[in-house]
């Protein structure tokens, strides 16, 4: 294939993929399957790897991520991002309307009403139809440049095309050479719940609400991890060359450009219509797949907005009506305690059932001992429960006027509720833990359920009920016992026939083919989720190398800090875990990367050398450079130390790393220097 042919294919594939993205995310009308879409994307990725100098900044492969950003550059907003005045009162909404009418006497006033998304405000600049910068609100005057992470959000166009097909856009629509759109980056509830389940499973504290999770995700250093979080974005503002006479028309216009604009906006001719809209969404907001915390009301006409002007902090022509968090009072019947697979103890408030935001609430999380102490909970207190931005209901306070005379405070337990082992609480951690990993049944069952799960060993037939039965009957005591089960053991139990027993045995045998990175995740090291397990597996290549790694070697692995490294060392220091690994090895599980998972060797020019990559580069992505380092026998480091051989520095590389490299006598090399080294 010639370079010209490759360029043509890349352009055609990019156009086709972005058209499918638009149909899927903007129109909710996909015309190909997810599998076929992935095949197109994989074909483009392969072409771009073969022809790296043909990769465009608006390529659909940017959605996949892969760039590491250690520091987010501060950028001054071209148009200040002012905050809105808030109200919780209908009376104040009427006052807002009266002020508008006093300043604009006799004029027809229309209000554009929109959902107030509970997320992270963002300003996105386009030049010649191409996304060039995305900046957070910050303090309103300046914010952080999060362009690389925003490019992974599939509902944000990387390049604005005006397709000729009438079903996509009106072909007469055009956009200016440069403009900015503003909106809110959000995390859908379903994604939030999945992330929290994963965090709880590896022993990490769950996020409090989708907004906090979206904010944290947007500032992650690895854009490939941002891509997996599946953030979403709704746009609600246009700034640039005047094209529209009012806000509602502007929203229709940017929708035609290809931006996602909420379908739930409404144009209201009076404050009474605004009130109806406010009340409607107060009753319906729980049915949305994402969180809103109110309604934004704007004077629609831009001419009127200009006449109304601004106060020092906010526009006079807009206001947000904030919904009060749904809250009810009910009785606290008792506090019980759950034991997770990592031994983490979670206190749970058991409540007299009460209706809250359309669902019956019987339980609420109390998080930890500090939360119980902060609330000063007593036995049989009447408590206030709300959802607000939370998915799981929480207790926000106590009705002291209804506290029973002589009631006693809730005292946090000192021993495990399942095995009576004294609990431990490490310095700096909020949760208590049961250290009895091998004798506490919820931990045993939880570890086995984790090991057999779909994202781990994917052992068919070994669901929670079956595991519970096998543990209770003494058939298995830990994950390695799974490989000692025979069919006769299973047939002796109730509920199992020849076929179901054989299915379990087939699943056990098939699991021996599961790759090392999934096995590493499955064995359940605290804080090691599937992403970290994959990076550890690829960095160390085998369980032996990982087991013998030092703290410094572990923290040289991307995404691994002191806490995760300490947890890995602690896991392998225990004789019981060492014996467990040996039994799993004997059973035939994969504890080394297979040859096809290892990087293809292209030479040994970097044998024994450690290279740290920082900044951005002209001819390679950072992931490509890291792959080349491994393919030439080298190791990737995450931070500069005395052991670092080279600091490979591109443009925008932070001064802290280069200064440290020079202080330590580490050679700083450019992309051209690196190419010269690996070419021999």
In this structure, is residue 663 part of a structural domain? yes
Interval 513-531 mean pLDDT: 91
Q: Exactly one of 3, 116, 447, 547 is catalytic; which is it?
A: 116
249 and 166 share one domain? yes
In percent, the amount of the chain with pLDDT more than 90 equals 46
118 and 200 share one domain? yes
The domain in which residue 649 lies consists of 610-678
Task: List Cβ neighbours of 630 (8 Å cut-off, separation of 6 or more).
Answer: 599, 636
Name 348's bridge partners: 336, 365
> Residue 168: pLDDT band by 50, 70, 90 thresholds?
very low
Least confident of 47-61, 100-114, 131-145, 369-383: 47-61
225 and 359 share one domain? no
The chain-wide mean pLDDT, for the chain, equals 87
pLDDT at position 28: 55
Residue 610 has pLDDT above 70, yes or no: yes
Q: What is the pLDDT of residues 73-112, one digit of tens each?
A: 889 999 888 888 888 889 999 999 999 999 999 999 999 9
In this structure, is residue 436 part of a structural domain? no
Please say whether the beta carbons of 360 and 387 come within 8 A.
no
525 and 653 share one domain? no
Please say whether the beta carbons of 218 and 65 come within 8 A.
no
Token code pair at residue 545: 């190398």
55 and 82 share one domain? no
Q: What is the pLDDT of residues 15-27, one digit of tens each?
A: 888 788 776 655 5
268 and 378 share one domain? no
Question: What is the distance between the alpha carbons of residues 478 and 445, in angstroms, rounded to a whole number?
Answer: 8
Per the structure, the count of domains in the chain is: 6
* 667-669 vs 111-117, strand pairing mode: unpaired
* 635-637 vs 610-614, strand pairing mode: parallel
Instruction: Single out the residue in 569, 597, 625 at which a domain terminates.
Output: 597
Residue 169 has pLDDT above 50, yes or no: no
174 and 256 share one domain? yes
Interval 605-621 mean pLDDT: 83
Instruction: Single out the residue in 547, 563, 597 at which a domain terminates.
Output: 597
pLDDT at position 238: 94
CATH of the domain at 525: 1.10.150.20
C-alpha count within 13 angstroms, C-beta hemisphere, residue 46: 7
Give residue 403's region: left, alpha or beta (phi > 0; psi -120 to 50): beta
Q: What is the pLDDT of residues 301-318, one digit of tens each?
A: 999 999 999 887 789 999
In this structure, is residue 129 part of a structural domain? yes
In this structure, is residue 535 part of a structural domain? yes
Chain centre to alpha carbon of residue 404: 44
Round the CA-based radius of gyration of the chain to a whole number and report it.
29
395 and 445 share one domain? no
In this structure, is residue 434 part of a structural domain? no
497 and 563 share one domain? no
Token code pair at residue 164: 């000729």
CATH of the domain at 621: 3.40.50.10190
In this structure, is residue 602 part of a structural domain? no
482 and 521 share one domain? no
- H/E element, 425: none
In this structure, is residue 139 part of a structural domain? yes
> Residue 30: pLDDT band by 50, 70, 90 thresholds?
low
CATH of the domain at 30: 1.10.287.610
Name 130's bridge partners: 127, 159
* 111-117 vs 266-268, strand pairing mode: antiparallel
459 and 395 share one domain? no
Question: What is the distance between the alpha carbons of residues 520 and 456, in angstroms, rounded to a whole number?
Answer: 9
pLDDT at position 167: 39
CATH of the domain at 231: 3.30.470.30
283 and 383 share one domain? no
- Local structure of residue 615 (DSSP, 8 states): S
Residue 382 has pLDDT above 70, yes or no: yes
> Residue 170: pLDDT band by 50, 70, 90 thresholds?
very low
In this structure, is residue 431 part of a structural domain? no
Active-site residue, 455 included: no
């Amino acid at each position: 294939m010639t370079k010209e042919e490759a360029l043509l294919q890349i352009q055609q594939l990019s156009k086709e993929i972005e058209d499918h993205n638009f149909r899927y995310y903007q129109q909710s009308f996909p015309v190909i399957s997810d599998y076929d879409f992935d095949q197109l994307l994989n074909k483009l990725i392969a072409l771009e790897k073969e022809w790296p100098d043909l990769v465009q900044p608006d390529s659909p492969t940017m959605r996949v991520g892969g760039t590491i950003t250690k520091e987010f550059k501060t950028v001054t907003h071209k148009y200040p991002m002012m905050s809105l005045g808030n109200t919780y009162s209908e009376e104040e909404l009427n006052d807002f309307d009266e002020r508008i009418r006093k300043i604009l006497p006799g004029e027809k006033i229309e209000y554009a009403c929109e959902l107030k998304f509970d997320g992270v405000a963002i300003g996105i600049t386009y030049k010649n139809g191409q996304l060039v910068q995305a900046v957070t609100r910050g303090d309103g005057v300046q914010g952080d440049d999060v362009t690389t992470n925003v490019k992974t959000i599939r509902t944000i166009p990387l390049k604005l095309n005006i397709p000729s097909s009438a079903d996509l856009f009106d072909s007469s629509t055009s956009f200016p050479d440069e403009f900015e759109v503003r909106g809110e980056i959000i995390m859908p509830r379903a994604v939030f719940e999945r992330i929290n389940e994963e965090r709880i499973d590896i022993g990490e504290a769950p996020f409090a609400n989708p907004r906090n999770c979206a904010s944290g995700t947007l500032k992650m250093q690895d854009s490939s991890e941002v891509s997996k979080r599946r953030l979403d974005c709704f746009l609600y503002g246009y700034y640039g060359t005047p094209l529209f006479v009012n806000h509602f028309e502007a929203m229709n216009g940017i929708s035609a450009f290809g931006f996602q604009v909420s379908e739930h906006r409404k144009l209201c001719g009076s404050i009474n219509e605004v009130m109806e809209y406010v009340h409607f969404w107060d009753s319906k907001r729980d049915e949305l797949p994402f969180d809103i915390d109110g309604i934004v009301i704007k004077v629609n006409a831009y001419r009127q907005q200009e006449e109304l002007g601004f106060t020092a902090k906010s526009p006079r022509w807009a206001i947000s009506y904030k919904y009060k968090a749904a809250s009810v009072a009910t009785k606290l019947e008792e506090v019980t305690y759950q034991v997770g697979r990592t031994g983490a103890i979670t206190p749970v408030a058991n409540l007299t059932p009460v209706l809250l935001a359309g669902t019956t609430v019987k339980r609420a999380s109390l998080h930890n001992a500090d939360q119980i102490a902060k609330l000063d909970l007593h036995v049989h207190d009447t408590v206030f429960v709300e959802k607000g931005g939370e998915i799981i209901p929480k207790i926000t306070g106590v009705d002291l006027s209804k506290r029973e005379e002589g009631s006693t405070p809730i005292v946090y337990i000192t021993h495990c509720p399942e095995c009576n082992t004294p609990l431990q609480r490490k310095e700096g951690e909020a949760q208590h833990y049961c250290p009895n990993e091998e004798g506490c049944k919820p931990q045993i069952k939880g570890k086995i359920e984790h090991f057999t799960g779909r994202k781990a060993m994917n052992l068919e037939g070994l669901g929670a009920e079956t595991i519970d039965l096998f543990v209770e009957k003494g058939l298995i005591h830990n994950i390695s016992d799974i490989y000692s089960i025979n069919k006769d053991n299973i047939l002796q139990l109730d509920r199992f026939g020849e076929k179901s027993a054989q299915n379990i045995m087939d699943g056990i045998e098939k699991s021996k083919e599961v790759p090392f990175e999934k096995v590493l995740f499955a064995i359940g090291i605290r804080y090691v989720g599937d992403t970290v397990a994959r990076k550890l597996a690829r960095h160390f290549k085998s369980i032996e190398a990982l087991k013998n790694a030092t703290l410094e070697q572990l923290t040289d692995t991307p995404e691994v800090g002191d806490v995760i490294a300490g947890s890995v060392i602690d896991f392998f220091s225990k004789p019981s875990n060492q014996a467990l690994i040996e039994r799993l090895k004997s059973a035939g599980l994969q504890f080394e990367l297979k040859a096809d998972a290892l990087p293809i060797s292209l030479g040994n020019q970097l044998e024994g050398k450690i290279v740290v990559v920082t900044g951005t580069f002209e001819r390679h992505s950072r992931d490509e450079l890291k792959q080349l380092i491994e393919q030439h026998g080298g190791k990737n480091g995450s931070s500069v130390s005395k052991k670092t051989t080279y600091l490979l520095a591109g443009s925008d590389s932070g001064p802290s790393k280069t200064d440290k490299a020079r202080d330590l006598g580490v050679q700083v090399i450019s992309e051209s220097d690196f190419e010269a080294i690996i070419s021999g």
